[in-house]
């Protein structure tokens, strides 16, 4: 496992992905089967590991992460000729899909109104999340150089994401490995313009203490913003002020996709907006919230034939 992490994983995936693999190996896999010789490892050992973790109360999703990590490591061992077969080629625990909790259009309007009334300095961030579907890290990694105001509405270039790793904040490529261009709505453009004016006023107040990082959504001193602080100090109190249910900041992205799909916009365009690697991810995630998506098939056949 250590050799796989060092030689095959490190520097080939995003830092947070590497840290997840390393943590799973250190906390779950190595204590349980680390003393076994590689050639002695059997599918029975893998099944027993998964059962032990499930019986201890670990979530099926986490146990599935253990399976994926072990399977990837042993696949490399097979490729390297260390063992003839992958001992983790067993049926993995089936994780439950995390429930998405999008806001209704009315709730989304209440959120933005509450942010405007309270003077929340991240009002524009919530508007972008709702109108453009950007991920948290993409929003916090956005720079003013990525924003083009030359057209009737602004255009964003999503080039990086801000990750919180064990060694601190790190800019990485977006999740799908490549960037994308996002055309803003009129309201998102107006929010960005207002936000830039507010940020310039902040810069004058702080003076020489502020770092000029060029970020659209930094701290008051210009440094990278922690998502944990954004949630605890700004987003959750905003939800309370607006009288809205407790949701994740990521659910604003779900809200964007849900509103667009229910408005009849083609899933391919929604996929490109969100930056999903394939349209199947978009359909699998949101098909159950689209009213009448499976309706009208019989009528269509009657009309055609």
Give the three-state DSSP class for 169: strand
pLDDT tens sequence for the chain (305 residues): 999 999 999 999 889 899 999 999 999 999 999 999 999 999 999 999 999 999 999 999 999 999 999 999 999 999 999 999 999 999 988 877 777 889 999 999 999 999 999 999 999 999 999 999 999 999 999 999 999 999 999 999 999 999 988 888 999 988 877 889 999 999 999 999 999 999 998 888 877 777 788 999 999 888 999 999 999 999 999 999 999 999 999 999 999 999 998 888 888 999 999 999 899 988 888 877 665 555 566 777 778 88
What is the location of CATH 1.10.150.130 in the chain?
A: 2-79
What is the location of CATH 1.10.443.10 in the chain?
A: 105-289
Task: Please tell me the distance from the alpha carbon of residue 137 to that of residue 133, in angstroms, as a whole number.
Answer: 12
Q: Which class is domain 105-289? A: mainly alpha
Find out if CATH 3.30.413.10 is the number for domain 2-79: no
Buried b (16+ CB within 10 A) or exposed e, 34-63: eeeeeeebeeebbbebbeebeeeebeeeeb
Give the three-state DSSP class for 300: helix
Residues 6 or more apart whose Cβ sits within 8 Å of residue 205: none
pLDDT of residue 92: 84
> Residue 133, exposed/middle/buried by CB under 10 A (0-12, 13-18, 19+)?
buried
Task: Please tell me the distance from the alpha carbon of residue 88 to that of residue 67, in angstroms, as a whole number.
Answer: 7
pLDDT of residue 289: 67
**Pair type for strands 147-148 and 168-172:** unpaired
pLDDT of residue 242: 96
Beta bridge partners, 143, equal 215
pLDDT of residue 290: 61
Q: Which helix (H) or strand (E) holds 297?
A: helix 297-304
Task: Please tell me the distance from the alpha carbon of residue 126 to that of residue 149, in angstroms, as a whole number.
Answer: 19
**Pair type for strands 155-158 and 147-148:** antiparallel
Instruction: Answer whether 183's CB lies under 8 Å from 207's CB.
Output: no
């Amino acid at each position: 496992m250590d050799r796989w992490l060092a030689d095959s994983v490190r520097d080939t995936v995003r830092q947070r992905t590497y840290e997840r693999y390393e943590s799973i190996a250190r906390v779950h896999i190595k204590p349980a089967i680390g003393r076994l010789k590689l050639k002695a490892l059997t599918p029975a050992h893998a099944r027993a590991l998964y059962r032990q973790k499930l019986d201890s109360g670990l979530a099926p999703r986490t146990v599935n992460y253990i399976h994926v990590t072990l399977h990837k490591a042993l696949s490399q061992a097979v490729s390297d000729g260390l063992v003839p077969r992958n001992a983790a080629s067993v049926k993995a625990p089936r994780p439950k899909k995390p429930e998405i909790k999008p806001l209704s259009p009315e709730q989304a309007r209440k959120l933005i109104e509450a942010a405007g009334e309270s003077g929340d300095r991240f009002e524009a961030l919530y508007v972008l999340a709702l109108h453009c579907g950007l991920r948290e890290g993409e929003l916090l990694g956005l720079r003013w150089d990525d924003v083009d105001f030359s057209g009737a509405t602004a255009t964003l270039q999503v080039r990086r994401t801000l990750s919180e790793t064990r060694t601190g904040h790190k800019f990485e490529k977006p999740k799908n490995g490549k960037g994308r261009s996002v055309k803003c709505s009129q309201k998102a453009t107006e929010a960005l313009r207002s936000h830039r004016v507010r940020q310039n006023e902040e810069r004058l107040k702080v003076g020489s203490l502020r770092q000029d990082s060029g970020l659209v959504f930094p701290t008051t001193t210009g440094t990278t913003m922690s998502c944990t602080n954004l949630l605890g100090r700004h987003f959750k109190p905003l939800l309370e002020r607006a009288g809205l249910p407790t949701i994740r900041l990521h659910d604003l992205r779900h809200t964007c996709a849900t509103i667009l799909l229910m408005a009849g916009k083609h899933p391919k365009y929604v996929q490109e907006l969100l930056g999903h690697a394939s349209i199947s991810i978009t359909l699998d995630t949101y098909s159950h919230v689209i009213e009448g998506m499976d309706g009208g098939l019989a009528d269509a056949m009657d009309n055609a034939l």
